[in-house]
Structure 1
Amino acid sequence: MIDIGVNLTNSRFDKDRDAVIDRARAAGVQALILTGTSEQESREALAMAHQWPGYCYSTAGVHPHDAKSVIDLTLPQIRDLAADPAVVAIGECGLDFNRDFSPRPQQETVFEAQLALAAELQKPVFMHCRDAHDRFLAILKPWRDKLPAAVLHCFTGTEQELKGCLALDLHIGITGWVCDERRGTELRDIVHLIPDQRLMLETDCPYLLPRDLRPKPKSSRNEPAYLPHIVGAVAACRQQSVDALAAAVFSTTRAFFQIEPA
């Protein structure tokens, strides 16, 4: 198992990062992809990847929430970080029209700038889309054949949106959203439509603690050690054995990020 969405730079991990890593290893999680969401967070994620080489890797990019902070669209700091072998993707980048923490035109401009950078560097892209599906695909489509690989992480959309993403040959990241009996019903019904070679799994920790996790943790904080629970839930939705799903997703993820976990 490889957790492709770990926000390890989040302050909720400040007191026990070493223990979080230890619990992930003990749970059978073989690698973590640490998410960079701004220039500063991307630097911190890379520093943490260096702290646990061969187990942690990172992304470098600017989340749409932080797009307003970008002045130079050549993204020199992200470019410099991406030269490090531990940086395995550009992102988290994309659009978020739900919260609009950055103006939509700026989100779109910064998203496209990161697609251009990923195409130039021939790095995969790690993407975010919330309440912006049509614009997201419209911006991404002209770049798709220039990119070596692209994943839409934390997918929570509709069947039509899923099919639109798969038609662009995107990988799809699935989280513990499938474990939510309130909001995850449609996702549980459509997750079987994702081919094995396009499916990846993630916690998106510390967010999205699986609601059906038992015993229920005292803290609402999610962490990579809970990834096996998500694997089990997704396997049940897809009517696959846990071992078969885990093996397929591990192979897909390793090929996507071009990593060989130690």
Structure 2
Amino acid sequence: MIDIGANLAHESFDLDREAVFSRAWGAGVQAIILTGSCRQSNRAVQQLRLTAPDRLYCTAGVHPHHASDWTDEDAELITSLAAHAGLVSLGECGLDYHRDLSPREVQRKVFIAQLELAIRLEKPVFLHQRSAHDDFHAIVREYRAALPDACVHCFTDTAAARDAYLALDCHIGITGWVCDKRRGAELRAVAPGIPLDRLMIETDAPYLLPGNLPRGQRPGKRHDDKPGIDGRRNEPAYLPWVARALAELRGDDPAELGAVTAANARRFFRLPSAAGRDSC
């Protein structure tokens, strides 16, 4: 298995990050893509990956929440980081009209700037979309032919959105949202329709703790966690539970789904091959 999106530069991991990595490897996770989403985290994940360069890779980008902070310095930093072999994608970038933490016009401008940068740097993109499908789809459609590849990360949308992204030859990332039978009901109905060769899995840690974790394995509430984690921190070691829930919905074997989605991730992010390692 490969976790294609984990926010391990998040401060909730500051006290036990090494143990988090150890638990991930012990759970059968073979590689993790560390998500960059702002100037600070872009620098941080590049340093983190050096602790296990054969298993840790990273992205660099500016999340729509931080679009108002975008300057030429961000473009220069991303360009500089892209010279390192471990920088495998641009992102997380896109549009988020759910929280609107940056003005929508600014979000669109910064999203386009990053797509153009990805084209110039010949990097695939790791995309975020929430409550912004129409504008997001229109922008991606305009640039898709020139982009090396594109993944719609943490997909939670409708069947129509799924089909629209697949028509643009995008990959789709599924998180622990698919494990929630109540809140994830629509995704659970939509996910089986994603072709296996377009599918990848992720934790989006520390967010979206899989709801199918057995009670005895669920992490306790942490007093040092920040808003948005609901007191229970997700981590890459729980990726097998995403694979298990998704495989059950699709009628697939969890080990086979883990291996195939890992192979998809290696192709998408241009990771080194790892014969015999990509399994649950």
TM-score bin, normalised by smaller chain: over 0.9
CA distance in 1, matches of 2:68, 2:190: 34
Specify the SS of the correspondent of 2:126.
strand
Contact 1:73–1:110 (Cα < 8 Å) also in 2: no
Contact 1:31–1:261 (Cα < 8 Å) also in 2: no
Aligned to 2:70: 70
Contact 1:205–1:223 (Cα < 8 Å) also in 2: yes
Contact 1:153–1:172 (Cα < 8 Å) also in 2: yes
CA distance in 2, matches of 1:23, 1:119: 36
Alignment partner of 1:118 is 2:118 = yes
CA distance in 2, matches of 1:147, 1:201: 21
Structure 1 residue 228: deviation in Å?
A: 0.5
Which among 251, 256, 260 is matched to residue 268 of structure 2? 256
Contact 1:73–1:113 (Cα < 8 Å) also in 2: no
Aligned to 1:88: 88
Contact 2:9–2:45 (Cα < 8 Å) also in 1: yes
Structure 1 residue 212: deviation in Å?
A: 2.2
CA distance in 1, matches of 2:177, 2:141: 26
Matches within 5 A, 1:114-153: 114-153=114-153
Change (3 A) 1:95 1:183: same
Aligned to 2:240: 228
Specify the SS of the correspondent of 1:260.
coil
Contact 1:6–1:33 (Cα < 8 Å) also in 2: yes
5+ residue gaps, structure 1 = none
TM-score, scaled relative to structure 2: 0.91
Moved more, 178-187 or 224-233: 178-187
Aligned residues: 262
Aligned to 2:169: 169
CA distance in 2, matches of 1:140, 1:149: 11
Aligned to 2:3: 3
CA distance in 2, matches of 1:13, 1:168: 36
CA distance in 2, matches of 1:194, 1:74: 34
Superposed CA deviations along residues 109-129 of structure 1, whole A, max 9, x for unmatched, are 000000001111110000100
Structure 1 residue 40: deviation in Å?
A: 1.5
Matches within 5 A, 1:190-229: 190-214=190-214, 215=216, 216-219=218-221, 220-229=232-241
CA distance in 2, matches of 1:100, 1:108: 12
Contact 1:74–1:113 (Cα < 8 Å) also in 2: no
Aligned to 1:238: 250
Structure 1 residue 260: deviation in Å?
A: 1.8
Aligned to 1:182: 182
Specify the SS of the correspondent of 1:99.
coil
Aligned to 1:53: 53
Contact 2:181–2:188 (Cα < 8 Å) also in 1: no
Structure 1 residue 246: deviation in Å?
A: 1.4
Q: Give the RMSD, CA atoms, in angstroms.
A: 1.2
Change (3 A) 1:60 1:101: same
CA distance in 1, matches of 2:83, 2:73: 18
Q: % of aligned pairs identical?
A: 52
Structure 1 residue 261: deviation in Å?
A: 6.1
TM-score, scaled relative to structure 1: 0.98
Specify the SS of the correspondent of 1:89.
strand
Structure 1 residue 74: deviation in Å?
A: 7.6
Structure 1 residue 35: deviation in Å?
A: 0.2
Letter paired with 2:220: K
Superposed CA deviations along residues 211-244 of structure 1, whole A, max 9, x for unmatched, are 2211222131000000011101000011111122
Contact 2:39–2:74 (Cα < 8 Å) also in 1: no
**Where does structure 1 differ by over 2 angstroms across 4 or more consecutive aligned residues?**
71-74
Structure 1 residue 210: deviation in Å?
A: 1.0
5+ residue gaps, structure 2 = 222-231, 275-280
